[in-house]
Chains A and B, each alone.
Chain A
Amino acid sequence: MKTFRIGGIHPKENKFSAGKKIQTIELPKQVVIPLSHYIGTPSEAVIKKGDLVKVGQLIGKANGFISANVHSSVSGKVTKVDVQLDATGYKRPAVFIDVEGDEWLENIDKSSDIVRECTLPKDEILRRIQDAGIVGLGGATFPAHVKLTPPPGKKAESVIINAVECESYLTNDHGLMLEKAEEILIGIKIIMQVLDVKKAFIGIEANKPDAIKLLSNLAKNYTGIEVVPLKVSYPQGGEKQLIDAILRRQVPSGKIPIEVGTVVQNVGTVFAIYEAVQKNKPMIERIVTVTGKSAPNPGNYRVRIGTMLSELALDAGGVPEDTGKIVGGGPMMGRSLMTLDVPTAKGSAGILYIQKQESIRKPIQNCIRCTKCVTVCPMGLEPFLLMNQSERNMWPEMEANRTMDCIECGSCSYTCPSNRPLLDYIRFGKTTVGGIIRNRAVK
């Protein structure tokens, strides 16, 4: 079975919520819809206090190249446009809406009927994706339409669908694949149409045999779509790792996948694209996994964007007593939350409760130079060296040792027998070196 060729680890999977049906939670009384995204510039609010909005109405307009539209996920009255503490740990602009009923815009197809035919021209499809504010749901929340518009002179030969879900605990993509397989395949067809490619690969790890079987059977009806089962290994969901695993091509340092003739989209994004193009439904909800070793009711939940995570947690059985840390996202790359009173954003993949005894790091010891961090690094870097250089502020040396290639997967810190905070320091170095590089470019 295929997998990527350099490094990798295999943390305990702990997918407690695997195979659980996606549940839709009750509409909250109030939503706080973030206008900012993890990356790029925040969107510009186009409504004001007191406005009445419907489900699917545009409330934030994309502001700049790497930015996306934001739509209301509920119907009701805008109470204010203010800052709100979000999952990034900082206060950022958001729209507060009091929910009144559930009134959708007329042109949105709310039904669950599958619309198979797509006869729209390429430009129209792209416009719909852009208008719907679709961002990559794999975590980086990069606007989908930008990815689907290759830079001039470049041409994709294939498209890769990232259905790996290599993070332990998380099962939202898995759940989506089991319930919306047909829609996902139609979404892939649409993407193939936009990129004008003949071949699509769906990469799924072998720990999801039901999804592999279902999609492989259905894919027989669609030409050019192939399901590729992959050996379980983290971080296979990393864009570069996935391309290496499926196509055996390695994207060069500092380049994007189109360099090796492919485009990667997350499976959740594909479903959102289907809904946007075929049903005219903007990105107003997503699937969130609520899980943890002592979570009372681990499962996958369909949540309107802007719902407070605390309400979702309540619907999912409440926060367990022994929780020491709450992570937004997966255990390897998610961000720990200061409080659950933060809104669901487009990039929120899960809520993970970590028990007290697991939430505190063990004391740091001397590096014993065991080479394990080098062995597991999927980018072929030397984390121990980068950490030392970061501690000593040796920025030019860090750049020469390719610190900017780091994908921040955390495999090094996970493996280190001396519990050294390798990634913390590498991230610090990356930020600083990135700043130095940008300054140089300006000059």
Chain B
Amino acid sequence: MNLILISLITLGAVGAVSAIILFFVAKKFHVYEDPRYDEVEAALPAANCGGCGFPGCRGFAVACVEAESLEKLNCPVGGNETMQKVATILGKTVAEAAPTVAVVRCGGTCDHRPRTSDYDGVKHCFIAHNLFSGESGCSFGCLGLGDCEVSCEFDAIHINPATKLPEVDEEKCTSCGACVKACPKLLIELRKKGPKSRRIYVSCRNEERGPIAKKSCDVSCIACTKCEKVCPHEAITITNNLAFIHDDKCTLCRKCVEVCPTNAIVELNFPPRKIKEPISSEAELVS
């Protein structure tokens, strides 16, 4: 009985003294934090993907609270809805940003782009990229080793084993930009998602002259300028033998898709048309 009593008293005393010390230490070293940090952080998706350019959601929350306006801040994962919530909490306004999605600008499937050598090394794009220009004749195209797949936190991009090209899952893609950074060939771009997810883009990055590009890949952009000429909105420019469609000018009229002789321009999620021949198979696969 005595033993129990002594134990209880000793432990109780130690506990009480520790509590007092802790109390004063906590008071002394208390750091004031804006309570809005926590509120904003709670409104964020907590993916900590870094897509906003800040270290994690907390970093972004701090930046939002401290910023004069929310103009340049955007959480690509949460999108407009989240940014609206953040704006309400902070009493600021936020402009509606057009949602974007990752697109892979290479259409060189195994059929279109014959392989000329076999890579036998670590399945890692960056390592292969440092070693050589790729298994096919095209030194700009996808290596197909899946750095983008590894980098994706949202399980939204996968290498299709049949085509050896990555495919983006539009539903899951949050356009955080991790794959854009991971790709050593700079093939992935964040583009406007477009109405009803309809998009048109040049699925090629080959900057070689037409004949050389065409020789290594059937569906390469050969810089024939047909699309540039046919575009009524001046949305297409050609630099370094490569066409590029600016998504802020493009009205999705699909004229360029029709004229492209190599099917390098890809249209996504459009209803099938009556006159034109069926969309090339890889266009569907890329979606």
Contact = CB atoms under 8 A, between A and B. Distances in A.
Contacts of A336: 131-132
Given A338-B117, A361-B121, A90 B133 contact: yes
B120 A427 contact: no
Nearest to B132: A89
B132 A424 contact: no
B127 interface: yes
Interface string B147-191: 000000000000000000000000000000000000000000000
Contacts of B287: none
A361 B126 CA distance: 19
Nearest to A83: B208
A428 B124 contact: yes
Interface string B108-140: 000000001100111010110011110000010
Given A91-B139, A338-B117, A427 B132 contact: no
Interface string A213-236: 000000000000000000000000
B127 A338 contact: no
A431 interface: yes
Contacts of B130: 427-428, 431
Interface string A331-347: 00001101100000000
Nearest to B124: A428
B122 A425 contact: yes
Given A425-B122, A428-B127, 14 more contacts: A83-B208, A89-B133, A90-B133, A91-B133, A336-B132, A338-B116, A338-B132, A360-B120, A421-B121, A421-B122, A424-B127, A427-B130, A428-B126, A431-B130
Interface of B: 116-117, 120-122, 124, 126-127, 130-133, 139, 208
B127 A427 contact: yes
A74 to B, nearest CB: 25
Contact of A90 (B116, B122, B126, B132): B132
Interface of A: 83, 85, 88-91, 335-336, 338-339, 359-361, 421, 424-425, 427-428, 431
A268 to B, nearest CB: 25
A226 B130 CA distance: 40
Contacts of B132: 88-90, 335-336, 338
A388 to B, nearest CB: 13
Contacts of A359: 120
Pairs of residues from A and B, 10 with the lowest C-beta to C-beta distance, nearest first? A89-B132, A338-B117, A424-B122, A421-B122, A90-B133, A428-B127, A424-B127, A89-B133, A360-B120, A361-B120
15 contacts: A83-B208, A90-B132, A90-B133, A335-B132, A336-B131, A336-B132, A338-B133, A339-B117, A361-B121, A424-B122, A424-B124, A424-B127, A428-B124, A428-B126, A431-B130
A84 B141 CA distance: 17
Contacts of B127: 424-425, 427-428
A431 B127 CA distance: 10
A339 B133 CA distance: 12
A439 to B, nearest CB: 15
Contacts of A88: 132
A325 to B, nearest CB: 8
Contacts of A90: 132-133, 139
A362 to B, nearest CB: 11
The residue among B121, B124, B132 with the most chain A CB atoms within 10 A of its own CB is: B132
Contacts of B122: 421, 424-425
Contacts of A89: 131-133
A387 B126 CA distance: 14
Contacts of A361: 120-121
A329 to B, nearest CB: 14
A335 B132 CA distance: 9
A335 B128 CA distance: 12
A90 B208 CA distance: 13
A326 B127 CA distance: 19
Contacts of B124: 424, 428
A96 to B, nearest CB: 14
A424 B117 contact: no
B26 to A, nearest CB: 32
A421 B122 CA distance: 7
A367 B136 CA distance: 33
B164 to A, nearest CB: 17
B90 to A, nearest CB: 32
Contacts of A360: 120
Nearest to A338: B117
A335 B133 CA distance: 13
Contacts of B120: 359-361
A364 to B, nearest CB: 9
A279 B263 CA distance: 58
Contact of B121 (A338, A339, A424, A431): A424
Nearest to B134: A89
A3 B36 CA distance: 66
Among A89, A359, A425, A431, the most chain B Cβ lie within 10 Å of the Cβ of A89
Nearest to B121: A424
Contacts of A424: 121-122, 124, 127
A202 B122 CA distance: 39
A88 B129 CA distance: 11
B122 to A, nearest CB: 5
B36 to A, nearest CB: 32
Nearest to A428: B127
B113 to A, nearest CB: 14
B139 A339 contact: no
Contacts of B121: 361, 421, 424
B148 to A, nearest CB: 15
Contacts of B139: 90-91
A105 B208 CA distance: 36
Nearest to A431: B130
Given A90-B139, A428-B124, A339 B116 contact: yes
A395 to B, nearest CB: 13
A91 B132 CA distance: 10
A182 B287 CA distance: 68
